[in-house]
Amino acid sequence: MPKVVYSDSKGLVQEAGAGFSFVTGTVADKVGLHLYQEEVTLSNDVDGDVIGKLSKELPENCIILQASMTTSSTGTGSCELRYHTTAQALSAVGLGTVILGVDAATSVPNSNLNTATLGQTIIDVTPRDVTNKIYLHVVADGGAVSGSPKVLVSVLYAGKGEPETI
């Protein structure tokens, strides 16, 4: 499905990509609200390790307004979403700040995402200043993850620019 962009200059237009953006000025400026969504296939690994990476980085100095994760294909284990200043390799020890998960203390529900429950969603509406923490990682938390789980990660943010491919 193409990306939908609403701008002051052109109104409603379609672009390559996915998601929805509200932008001010010209479409080329890309200043406004952006929704970045990506389905991530999680690797099998142990508690505390990176099991999934998003393929794009957020623009510096944006503000995350809302983030959510939903199980779209089941496996076993639970996970959380973190952001960090550097890209991390799969199976590396998960570093960074927790955005979604029990350790964030602001996720609703206040838990990690259970990959065994199809359609389970956790959400956090606490604004977060990205500054230079532009890389998003899914980290196993609460035990090993196995099977072939997939999660849909959705991030609504305000700022200039769209996510760039890593």
Each residue's pLDDT tens digit, 28-41? 567 888 999 999 99
Helix (H) or strand (E) holding 52: strand 50-53
Amino acid identity at 7 = S
Residue 17 has what pLDDT? 73
Q: Of the given ranges (18-22, 38-42, 90-94, 117-121), which has the lowest mean pLDDT?
A: 18-22
Structural domains in the chain, sorted by start: 38-165 (2.60.120)
CB distance 72 to 66 below 8 Å: no
Q: Which segments of the chain does DSSP mark as H helices, in order? A: none
Query: Residue 4 pLDDT more than 90?
Result: no
Question: pLDDT tens digit string along 95-130?
Answer: 999 999 999 999 999 999 999 999 999 999 999 999
Here the tokens at position 148 are 């072939």
